Amino acid sequence: MTIETKRLLLCPLSARQMRLWLSDLPALEREWDCHYEGEPVEGTFREIVQQQWKITSMDERNYLFHSFWLLLRKADRTVVGAADFKAPPNARGEVEIGYGLGGAHERRGYMTEAVDALCDWALQREDVESVLAETERKNRPSQNVLRRCRFVLEHEGPTLWWRRKK
């Protein structure tokens, strides 16, 4: 399954490909004939990817909602970032999205393009009624992505919570 936008291919990783992303990036680059310039898989982000890899391995049927979708720029087959749904839809039909870009690719509209397409895909499903997103209060670029993708600020606390409905 791949989602195509004007400039990107949004490609979900299988559990095996997530393992390569964590342990042998050159092998993943060879398999996909691409060059990875996304967010470095280190620190807290690495821990998140490892946890999602474990969950994806145990629930491959729902891998589209557990795995990461790499953002592959069509023009030169460069991976510029990644996005994910943090779990399958809950009982209220909600899914939460997360995302990140490699620093060299910020402020070029890639994430807006990707988040909008992923939300469109999710909201076309019968089991999804809304997509949630959380941002840090000071993360204006992420908040701007969400506004451009028709999210509405729903709750302000230590972090900001956003929602896009069908």
CATH number, domain of 15, equals 3.40.630.30
* Distance of alpha carbon 43 from alpha carbon 139, whole angstroms: 19
Q: Which residues of 130-146 are buried (b: 16+ CB within 10 A; e: fewer)?
A: bbbbbbeeeeeebbebb
79 part of a folded domain = yes
66's CB contacts (< 8 A; 6+ apart) are 52, 55, 56, 59, 84, 85, 87, 88
100's CB contacts (< 8 A; 6+ apart) are 38, 39, 45, 81, 82, 83
Specify the 3-state DSSP secondary structure of 107.
coil
pLDDT attached to residue 37: 97
Type and span of the H or E element at 154: strand 152-156
149 part of a folded domain = no
pLDDT attached to residue 108: 95
pLDDT attached to residue 18: 94
Tens-level pLDDT at each residue, the chain (166 residues)? 899 999 999 999 999 999 999 999 999 999 999 999 999 999 999 999 999 999 999 998 999 999 999 999 999 999 999 999 999 999 999 999 999 999 999 999 999 999 999 999 999 999 999 999 999 999 999 999 999 999 999 999 999 999 999 9
pLDDT attached to residue 85: 96
56 part of a folded domain = yes
Q: What is the pTM of this model?
A: 0.93
91 part of a folded domain = yes
64 part of a folded domain = yes
The count of domains in the chain is: 1
pLDDT attached to residue 60: 86
